[in-house]
Chains A and B, each alone.
Chain A
Amino acid sequence: MTSRVMRDFDLLLPESVAEVLDLLATHKNKAAILAGGTDLLVALKFNYSVDNVISLALVPGLNGLSFDPVQGLTIGAKVTIADILKSKVVKEHYPALWQAAKVFATPQLRNTATVLGNILRASPAGDCSLALYACGGSLTLKSKRGSRQVNLDDFWISYGLTARRDDELAMALQVPAPVRGQKSAFRRMTRTKEDLSKINAAVSLQMEGDVCMSARVAMGCVGPTLLRLPKIEKMMKGSAVTDGLLQKISDQVAAEISPIDDKRSSAEYRNKVAGVLVKRVIALALNGKGNDQ
Protein backbone atom coordinates (compact mmCIF):
# COMPACT_ATOMS: atom_id res chain seq x y z
CA MET A 1 0.00 0.00 0.00
CA THR A 2 1.75 3.16 -1.13
CA SER A 3 -0.90 5.81 -0.81
CA ARG A 4 -3.49 5.76 1.91
CA VAL A 5 -6.56 7.82 1.19
CA MET A 6 -9.27 8.26 3.77
CA ARG A 7 -12.82 7.30 2.89
CA ASP A 8 -15.29 10.12 2.33
CA PHE A 9 -16.79 11.90 5.31
CA ASP A 10 -18.08 15.34 6.16
CA LEU A 11 -15.84 17.37 8.42
CA LEU A 12 -17.88 19.48 10.83
CA LEU A 13 -16.21 22.40 12.58
CA PRO A 14 -18.42 23.53 15.49
CA GLU A 15 -17.35 26.59 17.46
CA SER A 16 -18.76 25.81 20.90
CA VAL A 17 -19.38 22.85 23.20
CA ALA A 18 -23.12 23.42 22.81
CA GLU A 19 -22.79 23.05 19.05
CA VAL A 20 -20.74 19.85 19.48
CA LEU A 21 -23.46 18.40 21.72
CA ASP A 22 -26.15 19.31 19.16
CA LEU A 23 -24.19 17.57 16.41
CA LEU A 24 -23.61 14.50 18.58
CA ALA A 25 -27.32 14.34 19.46
CA THR A 26 -28.16 14.47 15.75
CA HIS A 27 -25.54 12.09 14.35
CA LYS A 28 -24.92 9.77 17.33
CA ASN A 29 -22.92 6.73 16.15
CA LYS A 30 -22.66 8.21 12.65
CA ALA A 31 -20.10 10.69 13.98
CA ALA A 32 -16.58 10.51 15.36
CA ILE A 33 -14.90 13.22 17.40
CA LEU A 34 -11.56 14.56 16.16
CA ALA A 35 -9.22 16.11 18.73
CA GLY A 36 -5.57 15.30 17.96
CA GLY A 37 -6.49 12.83 15.23
CA THR A 38 -3.43 10.63 15.59
CA ASP A 39 -5.57 7.53 16.14
CA LEU A 40 -8.70 8.54 14.22
CA LEU A 41 -6.98 9.51 10.97
CA VAL A 42 -4.94 6.32 10.92
CA ALA A 43 -8.15 4.32 11.47
CA LEU A 44 -9.85 6.27 8.65
CA LYS A 45 -6.96 5.37 6.33
CA PHE A 46 -7.40 1.66 7.09
CA ASN A 47 -10.56 -0.10 8.09
CA TYR A 48 -12.81 2.50 9.67
CA SER A 49 -15.40 4.68 8.02
CA VAL A 50 -17.84 7.20 9.47
CA ASP A 51 -20.20 9.73 7.89
CA ASN A 52 -19.28 12.73 10.01
CA VAL A 53 -16.10 13.82 11.74
CA ILE A 54 -16.68 16.48 14.39
CA SER A 55 -13.48 18.49 14.89
CA LEU A 56 -12.81 20.20 18.21
CA ALA A 57 -10.28 22.53 16.53
CA LEU A 58 -12.44 25.64 16.86
CA VAL A 59 -14.08 24.80 20.19
CA PRO A 60 -12.77 27.03 22.99
CA GLY A 61 -12.46 26.11 26.65
CA LEU A 62 -11.13 22.56 26.35
CA ASN A 63 -7.40 23.32 26.68
CA GLY A 64 -7.26 23.61 30.46
CA LEU A 65 -4.56 21.79 32.42
CA SER A 66 -4.81 22.91 36.03
CA PHE A 67 -3.79 21.70 39.47
CA ASP A 68 -5.37 22.40 42.81
CA PRO A 69 -3.96 20.88 46.05
CA VAL A 70 -7.49 19.81 47.09
CA GLN A 71 -9.26 19.14 43.78
CA GLY A 72 -6.26 17.56 42.09
CA LEU A 73 -5.42 17.68 38.39
CA THR A 74 -7.92 18.61 35.69
CA ILE A 75 -7.03 17.65 32.12
CA GLY A 76 -9.21 19.19 29.40
CA ALA A 77 -10.23 17.39 26.23
CA LYS A 78 -7.66 19.16 24.03
CA VAL A 79 -4.65 18.90 26.38
CA THR A 80 -1.85 17.22 24.43
CA ILE A 81 0.85 14.84 25.56
CA ALA A 82 3.35 17.67 24.93
CA ASP A 83 1.37 19.88 27.36
CA ILE A 84 1.76 17.17 30.03
CA LEU A 85 5.52 17.00 29.43
CA LYS A 86 5.84 20.77 29.83
CA SER A 87 3.92 20.76 33.13
CA LYS A 88 6.11 21.05 36.27
CA VAL A 89 3.07 20.23 38.40
CA VAL A 90 2.54 16.91 36.62
CA LYS A 91 6.24 16.05 36.87
CA GLU A 92 6.21 16.75 40.62
CA HIS A 93 2.85 15.32 41.70
CA TYR A 94 2.06 12.67 39.06
CA PRO A 95 5.44 11.22 38.00
CA ALA A 96 3.80 8.13 36.46
CA LEU A 97 1.90 10.32 34.00
CA TRP A 98 4.94 12.43 33.21
CA GLN A 99 7.12 9.34 32.63
CA ALA A 100 4.48 7.87 30.30
CA ALA A 101 4.27 11.15 28.36
CA LYS A 102 8.06 11.21 28.01
CA VAL A 103 8.19 7.94 26.07
CA PHE A 104 4.81 8.32 24.33
CA ALA A 105 5.07 7.83 20.53
CA THR A 106 7.15 10.53 18.81
CA PRO A 107 7.64 14.29 19.37
CA GLN A 108 5.39 15.14 16.40
CA LEU A 109 2.62 12.88 17.68
CA ARG A 110 3.02 14.22 21.22
CA ASN A 111 2.36 17.72 19.85
CA THR A 112 -1.08 16.71 18.57
CA ALA A 113 -2.23 13.56 20.40
CA THR A 114 -4.44 14.29 23.40
CA VAL A 115 -4.47 12.65 26.81
CA LEU A 116 -8.23 12.13 26.70
CA GLY A 117 -7.94 10.68 23.21
CA ASN A 118 -5.52 8.10 24.59
CA ILE A 119 -8.13 7.14 27.22
CA LEU A 120 -11.02 7.08 24.73
CA ARG A 121 -9.05 4.89 22.31
CA ALA A 122 -9.47 2.11 24.91
CA SER A 123 -6.30 0.39 23.77
CA PRO A 124 -4.90 -2.29 26.09
CA ALA A 125 -1.44 -0.89 25.19
CA GLY A 126 -2.02 2.76 26.13
CA ASP A 127 0.80 4.48 28.01
CA CYS A 128 -0.71 7.70 29.40
CA SER A 129 -4.03 5.94 29.92
CA LEU A 130 -2.25 3.25 31.98
CA ALA A 131 -0.44 5.83 34.13
CA LEU A 132 -3.77 7.55 34.76
CA TYR A 133 -5.42 4.22 35.59
CA ALA A 134 -2.84 3.78 38.34
CA CYS A 135 -3.33 7.35 39.58
CA GLY A 136 -7.12 6.96 39.40
CA GLY A 137 -9.51 9.51 37.97
CA SER A 138 -12.93 10.22 36.62
CA LEU A 139 -14.10 11.51 33.26
CA THR A 140 -16.75 14.18 32.81
CA LEU A 141 -19.03 13.13 29.96
CA LYS A 142 -21.47 15.72 28.70
CA SER A 143 -24.47 15.46 26.40
CA LYS A 144 -27.65 17.45 25.80
CA ARG A 145 -29.26 15.20 28.41
CA GLY A 146 -26.83 16.35 31.06
CA SER A 147 -23.44 15.66 32.55
CA ARG A 148 -22.11 12.59 34.36
CA GLN A 149 -18.89 11.34 35.89
CA VAL A 150 -17.49 7.93 35.05
CA ASN A 151 -14.61 6.52 37.09
CA LEU A 152 -11.73 5.17 35.00
CA ASP A 153 -12.20 1.88 36.91
CA ASP A 154 -15.55 1.50 35.10
CA PHE A 155 -14.69 3.15 31.78
CA TRP A 156 -13.01 0.49 29.63
CA ILE A 157 -15.42 -2.30 28.78
CA SER A 158 -13.44 -4.29 26.22
CA TYR A 159 -10.97 -3.72 23.39
CA GLY A 160 -11.79 -0.32 21.85
CA LEU A 161 -15.08 -0.12 23.72
CA THR A 162 -15.84 2.38 26.50
CA ALA A 163 -18.71 3.52 28.70
CA ARG A 164 -19.04 6.71 26.64
CA ARG A 165 -22.45 6.96 24.97
CA ASP A 166 -22.78 8.03 21.33
CA ASP A 167 -24.06 11.51 22.14
CA GLU A 168 -21.49 12.28 24.85
CA LEU A 169 -18.41 14.47 24.67
CA ALA A 170 -15.57 13.71 27.10
CA MET A 171 -14.95 17.18 28.53
CA ALA A 172 -12.19 16.58 31.06
CA LEU A 173 -10.47 14.08 33.33
CA GLN A 174 -10.21 14.77 37.04
CA VAL A 175 -7.29 13.07 38.81
CA PRO A 176 -7.36 13.11 42.64
CA ALA A 177 -4.82 15.24 44.48
CA PRO A 178 -1.87 13.24 45.78
CA VAL A 179 -2.01 12.47 49.50
CA ARG A 180 0.98 12.53 51.85
CA GLY A 181 3.45 9.81 50.97
CA GLN A 182 1.96 9.25 47.50
CA LYS A 183 4.45 7.83 45.00
CA SER A 184 3.89 6.76 41.43
CA ALA A 185 5.82 5.48 38.44
CA PHE A 186 5.45 4.10 34.91
CA ARG A 187 7.69 1.74 32.96
CA ARG A 188 7.33 -0.03 29.66
CA MET A 189 9.14 -2.35 27.29
CA THR A 190 9.19 -1.82 23.53
CA ARG A 191 10.84 -3.42 20.53
CA THR A 192 12.27 -0.10 19.38
CA LYS A 193 11.98 3.04 21.47
CA GLU A 194 9.19 4.71 19.49
CA ASP A 195 7.13 1.55 19.07
CA LEU A 196 3.95 0.82 20.99
CA SER A 197 4.49 -0.94 24.29
CA LYS A 198 4.82 -4.70 24.21
CA ILE A 199 4.13 -4.61 27.94
CA ASN A 200 3.80 -1.70 30.38
CA ALA A 201 3.11 -1.17 34.07
CA ALA A 202 2.22 1.72 36.36
CA VAL A 203 1.77 1.99 40.12
CA SER A 204 0.53 4.56 42.57
CA LEU A 205 1.45 3.84 46.19
CA GLN A 206 0.57 5.58 49.43
CA MET A 207 3.53 5.07 51.74
CA GLU A 208 4.07 5.63 55.45
CA GLY A 209 7.75 5.04 55.95
CA ASP A 210 8.41 1.59 54.50
CA VAL A 211 4.81 0.50 54.81
CA CYS A 212 2.45 0.69 51.86
CA MET A 213 -0.96 1.88 53.08
CA SER A 214 -2.69 1.44 49.74
CA ALA A 215 -1.68 0.58 46.20
CA ARG A 216 -3.02 0.76 42.69
CA VAL A 217 -1.12 -1.50 40.31
CA ALA A 218 -1.98 -1.50 36.60
CA MET A 219 -0.59 -3.30 33.56
CA GLY A 220 -1.07 -3.01 29.83
CA CYS A 221 -0.74 -5.42 26.88
CA VAL A 222 -1.74 -8.34 29.10
CA GLY A 223 -5.51 -8.51 28.47
CA PRO A 224 -8.30 -7.06 26.30
CA THR A 225 -8.22 -3.83 28.31
CA LEU A 226 -5.73 -2.25 30.64
CA LEU A 227 -5.86 -4.29 33.86
CA ARG A 228 -5.54 -3.60 37.55
CA LEU A 229 -3.96 -6.39 39.58
CA PRO A 230 -6.15 -6.61 42.71
CA LYS A 231 -4.27 -9.52 44.31
CA ILE A 232 -0.99 -7.63 44.03
CA GLU A 233 -2.63 -4.51 45.45
CA LYS A 234 -3.91 -6.61 48.40
CA MET A 235 -0.46 -8.12 48.98
CA MET A 236 0.99 -4.62 49.24
CA LYS A 237 -1.68 -3.01 51.40
CA GLY A 238 -0.48 -2.70 54.99
CA SER A 239 2.84 -4.41 54.26
CA ALA A 240 6.41 -3.20 54.51
CA VAL A 241 7.86 -3.16 51.01
CA THR A 242 10.87 -5.43 51.46
CA ASP A 243 12.93 -7.35 48.92
CA GLY A 244 11.09 -10.45 50.11
CA LEU A 245 7.67 -8.91 49.40
CA LEU A 246 8.81 -7.66 45.99
CA GLN A 247 9.92 -11.19 45.10
CA LYS A 248 6.56 -12.64 46.22
CA ILE A 249 4.74 -10.00 44.16
CA SER A 250 6.93 -10.70 41.17
CA ASP A 251 6.17 -14.43 41.38
CA GLN A 252 2.41 -13.79 41.59
CA VAL A 253 1.98 -11.37 38.64
CA ALA A 254 1.79 -13.97 35.86
CA ALA A 255 -1.24 -15.56 37.58
CA GLU A 256 -3.07 -12.22 37.41
CA ILE A 257 -2.75 -11.51 33.70
CA SER A 258 -3.79 -13.10 30.40
CA PRO A 259 -1.50 -11.92 27.60
CA ILE A 260 -1.74 -13.16 24.01
CA ASP A 261 0.71 -13.74 21.17
CA ASP A 262 0.74 -10.81 18.74
CA LYS A 263 3.16 -9.03 16.44
CA ARG A 264 4.87 -7.17 19.29
CA SER A 265 5.56 -10.08 21.60
CA SER A 266 4.47 -13.53 22.72
CA ALA A 267 2.29 -14.53 25.65
CA GLU A 268 5.15 -16.64 27.00
CA TYR A 269 7.58 -13.70 26.98
CA ARG A 270 5.05 -11.33 28.50
CA ASN A 271 4.28 -13.81 31.30
CA LYS A 272 8.01 -14.17 31.97
CA VAL A 273 8.83 -10.45 32.17
CA ALA A 274 5.61 -9.14 33.74
CA GLY A 275 6.69 -9.88 37.32
CA VAL A 276 10.09 -8.31 36.82
CA LEU A 277 8.51 -5.22 35.29
CA VAL A 278 6.12 -4.81 38.24
CA LYS A 279 8.99 -5.21 40.70
CA ARG A 280 10.99 -2.58 38.82
CA VAL A 281 8.14 -0.08 38.52
CA ILE A 282 7.55 -0.32 42.29
CA ALA A 283 11.26 0.30 42.86
CA LEU A 284 11.12 3.28 40.52
CA ALA A 285 8.15 4.73 42.40
CA LEU A 286 9.83 4.28 45.77
CA ASN A 287 13.38 5.43 45.11
CA GLY A 288 13.38 7.01 41.67
CA LYS A 289 15.94 4.46 40.55
CA GLY A 290 15.89 2.40 37.41
CA ASN A 291 14.43 4.99 35.06
CA ASP A 292 16.67 4.19 32.13
CA GLN A 293 13.99 4.89 29.53
Chain B
Amino acid sequence: MKKHAITLTVNGEDRDLVVSSNRTLLDALRDDLGFTDTKYGCGTGECGACTVLVDGTTAINGCLTLAATMNGKSITTAAGLARSGNLHPVQQAFIDNDAIQCGFCTPGMVLKTISLLDENPKPTEAEIRHGLEGNICRCTGYTKIVEAVQDASRRMSGAGE
Protein backbone atom coordinates (compact mmCIF):
# COMPACT_ATOMS: atom_id res chain seq x y z
CA MET B 1 0.00 0.00 0.00
CA LYS B 2 1.21 3.48 -0.88
CA LYS B 3 2.66 5.73 1.80
CA HIS B 4 2.27 9.48 1.69
CA ALA B 5 4.53 12.09 3.27
CA ILE B 6 2.37 14.96 4.44
CA THR B 7 2.51 18.07 6.58
CA LEU B 8 -0.43 19.03 8.76
CA THR B 9 -0.56 22.26 10.71
CA VAL B 10 -2.20 21.11 13.92
CA ASN B 11 -3.16 23.79 16.42
CA GLY B 12 -0.71 26.17 14.77
CA GLU B 13 2.27 23.81 14.68
CA ASP B 14 3.59 22.10 11.53
CA ARG B 15 3.76 18.33 11.90
CA ASP B 16 5.40 16.09 9.29
CA LEU B 17 4.24 12.52 9.07
CA VAL B 18 4.07 9.55 6.75
CA VAL B 19 0.65 7.92 6.44
CA SER B 20 -0.62 4.93 4.57
CA SER B 21 -3.41 5.42 2.03
CA ASN B 22 -6.19 4.19 4.29
CA ARG B 23 -5.20 6.25 7.36
CA THR B 24 -7.99 8.59 8.41
CA LEU B 25 -7.31 12.09 9.67
CA LEU B 26 -8.70 10.93 13.01
CA ASP B 27 -6.21 8.03 13.24
CA ALA B 28 -3.34 10.35 12.30
CA LEU B 29 -4.33 12.91 14.92
CA ARG B 30 -4.92 10.41 17.73
CA ASP B 31 -2.40 7.65 17.12
CA ASP B 32 0.41 9.33 15.16
CA LEU B 33 0.36 12.78 16.75
CA GLY B 34 -1.20 12.11 20.17
CA PHE B 35 -4.16 14.47 19.91
CA THR B 36 -6.43 12.14 21.86
CA ASP B 37 -8.80 15.04 22.58
CA THR B 38 -10.30 14.15 19.20
CA LYS B 39 -12.53 11.17 19.91
CA TYR B 40 -13.41 8.02 18.00
CA GLY B 41 -17.15 7.44 18.35
CA CYS B 42 -18.98 5.69 15.53
CA GLY B 43 -16.44 5.83 12.70
CA THR B 44 -19.21 6.52 10.19
CA GLY B 45 -19.84 10.26 10.46
CA GLU B 46 -22.94 10.10 12.61
CA CYS B 47 -21.84 11.04 16.14
CA GLY B 48 -19.50 14.00 15.64
CA ALA B 49 -17.05 13.00 18.40
CA CYS B 50 -14.23 13.25 15.84
CA THR B 51 -15.14 16.80 14.72
CA VAL B 52 -12.16 19.02 13.87
CA LEU B 53 -11.95 22.44 12.25
CA VAL B 54 -10.16 22.81 8.91
CA ASP B 55 -8.59 26.01 7.56
CA GLY B 56 -10.44 28.26 9.99
CA THR B 57 -13.81 27.12 11.28
CA THR B 58 -15.11 24.56 8.78
CA ALA B 59 -16.18 21.57 10.88
CA ILE B 60 -15.64 18.11 9.39
CA ASN B 61 -15.63 14.50 10.59
CA GLY B 62 -12.04 13.30 11.06
CA CYS B 63 -13.20 9.69 10.75
CA LEU B 64 -14.42 10.18 7.15
CA THR B 65 -11.39 12.09 5.88
CA LEU B 66 -8.25 10.45 4.52
CA ALA B 67 -5.17 12.00 6.12
CA ALA B 68 -3.24 11.95 2.84
CA THR B 69 -5.82 14.23 1.21
CA MET B 70 -5.24 16.88 3.90
CA ASN B 71 -1.60 17.70 3.10
CA GLY B 72 -0.91 21.37 3.85
CA LYS B 73 -4.18 21.94 5.71
CA SER B 74 -4.54 23.66 9.03
CA ILE B 75 -6.39 21.60 11.65
CA THR B 76 -7.76 22.81 14.97
CA THR B 77 -8.60 20.35 17.72
CA ALA B 78 -10.01 21.12 21.16
CA ALA B 79 -6.48 20.98 22.59
CA GLY B 80 -5.55 24.03 20.54
CA LEU B 81 -8.28 26.38 21.74
CA ALA B 82 -6.86 27.78 24.99
CA ARG B 83 -4.84 31.01 24.76
CA SER B 84 -2.14 31.83 27.36
CA GLY B 85 -3.71 29.58 29.93
CA ASN B 86 -7.26 30.84 29.35
CA LEU B 87 -9.90 28.52 28.00
CA HIS B 88 -11.81 29.53 24.86
CA PRO B 89 -15.09 31.26 25.84
CA VAL B 90 -17.03 28.31 24.40
CA GLN B 91 -15.07 25.89 26.61
CA GLN B 92 -15.64 28.11 29.66
CA ALA B 93 -19.36 28.39 28.87
CA PHE B 94 -19.64 24.57 28.69
CA ILE B 95 -18.05 24.31 32.17
CA ASP B 96 -20.08 27.15 33.71
CA ASN B 97 -23.37 25.72 32.39
CA ASP B 98 -22.66 22.14 33.50
CA ALA B 99 -22.95 21.06 29.86
CA ILE B 100 -20.48 18.22 30.41
CA GLN B 101 -21.17 14.88 32.02
CA CYS B 102 -18.95 12.06 30.79
CA GLY B 103 -17.15 14.50 28.49
CA PHE B 104 -16.70 12.22 25.50
CA CYS B 105 -18.74 14.38 23.10
CA THR B 106 -17.43 17.66 24.53
CA PRO B 107 -14.40 18.30 22.26
CA GLY B 108 -16.60 17.79 19.19
CA MET B 109 -19.45 19.81 20.67
CA VAL B 110 -17.13 22.70 21.54
CA LEU B 111 -15.53 22.76 18.08
CA LYS B 112 -18.89 22.55 16.29
CA THR B 113 -20.18 25.36 18.50
CA ILE B 114 -17.22 27.54 17.48
CA SER B 115 -18.01 26.78 13.84
CA LEU B 116 -21.70 27.56 14.38
CA LEU B 117 -21.05 30.86 16.19
CA ASP B 118 -18.59 31.91 13.51
CA GLU B 119 -21.31 31.54 10.85
CA ASN B 120 -24.13 32.80 13.04
CA PRO B 121 -23.00 34.72 16.15
CA LYS B 122 -26.50 34.95 17.65
CA PRO B 123 -28.33 31.73 16.79
CA THR B 124 -31.86 30.96 17.97
CA GLU B 125 -32.47 27.78 19.96
CA ALA B 126 -33.75 26.08 16.80
CA GLU B 127 -30.64 27.17 14.90
CA ILE B 128 -28.41 25.84 17.69
CA ARG B 129 -30.18 22.48 17.63
CA HIS B 130 -29.96 22.31 13.82
CA GLY B 131 -26.28 23.33 13.98
CA LEU B 132 -25.43 20.62 16.51
CA GLU B 133 -27.41 17.88 14.75
CA GLY B 134 -24.18 16.09 13.83
CA ASN B 135 -22.98 15.81 17.44
CA ILE B 136 -24.52 13.16 19.64
CA CYS B 137 -24.48 13.39 23.45
CA ARG B 138 -25.75 10.37 25.36
CA CYS B 139 -25.67 11.99 28.84
CA THR B 140 -27.07 15.48 29.02
CA GLY B 141 -30.30 15.47 27.03
CA TYR B 142 -28.86 18.52 25.24
CA THR B 143 -30.66 21.20 27.27
CA LYS B 144 -27.54 22.31 29.12
CA ILE B 145 -25.48 22.16 25.94
CA VAL B 146 -27.96 24.50 24.22
CA GLU B 147 -27.77 26.82 27.24
CA ALA B 148 -23.97 26.76 27.08
CA VAL B 149 -24.04 27.73 23.40
CA GLN B 150 -26.44 30.59 24.16
CA ASP B 151 -24.15 31.71 26.98
CA ALA B 152 -21.07 31.47 24.75
CA SER B 153 -22.88 33.52 22.11
CA ARG B 154 -23.52 36.27 24.69
CA ARG B 155 -19.94 36.16 25.99
CA MET B 156 -18.38 36.30 22.54
CA SER B 157 -20.58 39.14 21.30
CA GLY B 158 -20.07 41.11 24.52
CA ALA B 159 -17.32 43.70 24.98
CA GLY B 160 -13.84 42.56 25.81
CA GLU B 161 -14.03 39.06 24.39
Contacts and interface: CB of A to CB of B under 8 A. Distances in A.
Q: Do the two chains bind?
A: yes
A78 B123 CA distance: 29
Contacts, number: 92
The size class of the interface chain B forms with chain A is 20 to 34
A38 B43 contact: no
B8 interface: no
Contacts of A193: 133
A107 B108 CA distance: 12
A7 B22 contact: yes
Interface stretch (A108-116, A154-162, A167-175, A247-255): A108-116
A62 to B, nearest CB: 14
A243 B137 CA distance: 44
Given A8-B22, A37-B64, 20 more contacts: A4-B43, A9-B1, A9-B21, A10-B1, A10-B21, A11-B21, A37-B66, A38-B61, A38-B64, A41-B24, A41-B64, A45-B44, A105-B45, A106-B45, A107-B59, A108-B61, A109-B134, A111-B60, A112-B61, A194-B133
Interface of B: 1-2, 4, 21-22, 24, 40, 43-46, 48, 51, 58-61, 63-66, 68-69, 112, 115-116, 131, 133-135
28 contacts: A3-B43, A6-B24, A8-B1, A8-B22, A9-B1, A9-B21, A10-B1, A12-B2, A13-B69, A34-B69, A37-B65, A37-B66, A41-B24, A41-B64, A45-B43, A106-B46, A106-B48, A106-B134, A107-B112, A107-B116, A108-B48, A108-B51, A108-B60, A109-B61, A111-B59, A111-B60, A112-B60, A193-B133
